[in-house]
Amino acid sequence: MEKIQMTTPLVEMDGDEMTRILWKMIKDELILPYVDLKSEYYDLGLEYRNETNDQVTVDSAEATMKYGVAVKCATITPNAARMTEYNLKEMWKSPNGTIRAMLDGTVFRAPIIVKGIEPCVKNWEKPITLARHAYGDVYKNTEIKVDKPGKAELVFTAEDGTEVRELIHTFKAPGILQGIHNTDASITSFAHACFKYALDTKQDLWFATKDTISKKYDHNFKDIFQEIYDAEYAEQFKAAGISYFYTLIDDAVARVMKDKGGFIWACKNYDGDVMSDMVSSAFGSLAMMTSVLVSPSGVYEYEAAHGTVQRHYYKHLKGEETSTNSVATIFAWTGALRKRGELDNIAALCEFADKLEAATVKTIEDGKMTKDLAAITSLKDVTVLNSADFIKAIRATYDAM
Ligand code: NAP
Ligand code: MG
| pLDDT single digits (tens) 363-374 | 999 999 999 999
Ligand 1 mutation pick, 290, 308, 384, max ligand atoms within 8 A of CB: 308
Q: Give pLDDT, residue 47.
A: 97
Yes or no: say if 325 and 288 are a contact pair by the CB < 8 Å rule: yes
pLDDT-derived band at 347, boundaries 50, 70, 90: very high
Average pLDDT over residues 308-328: 97
Q: How far apart are CA 387 and CA 228, in angstroms?
A: 46
Q: How far apart are CA 255 and CA 247, in angstroms?
A: 10
Tell me 180's DSSP state.
-
AA identity, residue 163:
E
Ligand 1 contacts CB of residue 324 (under 6 A): yes
Q: Give pLDDT, residue 218.
A: 98
Any idea which ligand is nearest the CA of 18?
1
Q: Give pLDDT, residue 105.
A: 76
Q: Indicate which residue's Cα is closest to atom 26 of ligand 1.
A: 307
Any idea which ligand is nearest the CA of 267?
2
* Weakest-pLDDT range from 121-135, 154-168, 306-320: 121-135
Q: Indicate which residue's Cα is closest to atom 38 of ligand 1.
A: 307
> From ligand 1's centre to the CA of 251, what distance in Å?
33
Q: Give pLDDT, residue 258.
A: 96
Yes or no: say if 286 and 105 are a contact pair by the CB < 8 Å rule: no
Q: Give pLDDT, residue 219.
A: 98
Q: Give pLDDT, residue 273.
A: 86
**325: CB partners within 8 A, 6+ apart:** 285, 287, 288, 369, 370, 372, 373, 390
Say whether pLDDT at 140 is over 90: no
Average pLDDT over residues 222-235: 98
> How many helices and strands (H and E) does the chain possess?
15, 18
> From ligand 2's centre to the CA of 136, what distance in Å?
15
Ligand 1 contacts CB of residue 386 (under 6 A): no
Please state, for a pLDDT cut of 90, what percent of the chain lies above it: 88
Q: Give pLDDT, residue 270.
A: 92
> From ligand 1's centre to the CA of 248, what distance in Å?
34
Provide the 3-class DSSP secondary structure of residue 86: coil
> From ligand 2's centre to the CA of 279, what distance in Å?
11
Any idea which ligand is nearest the CA of 376?
1
Angle at 324 between CA 201 and CA 279, to 5 degrees: 40
Integer angstrom CA distances of residue 19 from 50, 93, 249, 310: 19, 19, 36, 9
Yes or no: say if 228 and 195 are a contact pair by the CB < 8 Å rule: yes
Residue range 28-81, pLDDT digits in tens: 999 999 999 999 999 999 999 999 999 999 999 999 999 999 999 999 999 999
Q: Give pLDDT, residue 283.
A: 86
Residue range 188-204, pLDDT digits in tens: 999 999 999 999 999 99
Residue range 210-225, pLDDT digits in tens: 999 999 999 999 999 9
Q: What atom in ligand 1 is closest to the CA of residue 74? A: 40
Question: Biggest alpha carbon distance in the chain?
Answer: 79
pLDDT-derived band at 92, boundaries 50, 70, 90: very high
Q: Give pLDDT, residue 265.
A: 97
AA identity, residue 346:
I
Average pLDDT over residues 325-329: 97
Beta strand pairing status for 300-304 and 69-72?
Answer: parallel
Provide the strand spans (E) within 125-171.
Answer: 128-132, 142-146, 150-157, 163-171
Ligand 1 contacts CB of residue 130 (under 6 A): no
> From ligand 2's centre to the CA of 360, what distance in Å?
28
Ligand 1 contacts CB of residue 203 (under 6 A): no
> From ligand 2's centre to the CA of 353, what distance in Å?
30
Q: Give pLDDT, residue 132.
A: 92
Higher pLDDT, 282 or 41: 41
Ligand 1 contacts CB of residue 325 (under 6 A): yes
Q: Give pLDDT, residue 297.
A: 81
* Weakest-pLDDT range from 35-39, 57-61, 127-131, 283-287: 283-287
Mean pLDDT of the chain: 95
Residue range 236-272, pLDDT digits in tens: 999 999 999 999 999 999 999 999 999 999 999 999 9
Angle at 100 between CA 98 and CA 102, to 5 degrees: 70
Q: Indicate which residue's Cα is closest to atom 42 of ligand 1.
A: 307
Ligand 1 contacts CB of residue 377 (under 6 A): no
Could you give the residue ranges of the DSSP H alpha helices within 87-216? 95-103, 184-201
Ligand 1 contacts CB of residue 322 (under 6 A): no
Say whether pLDDT at 1 is over 80: no
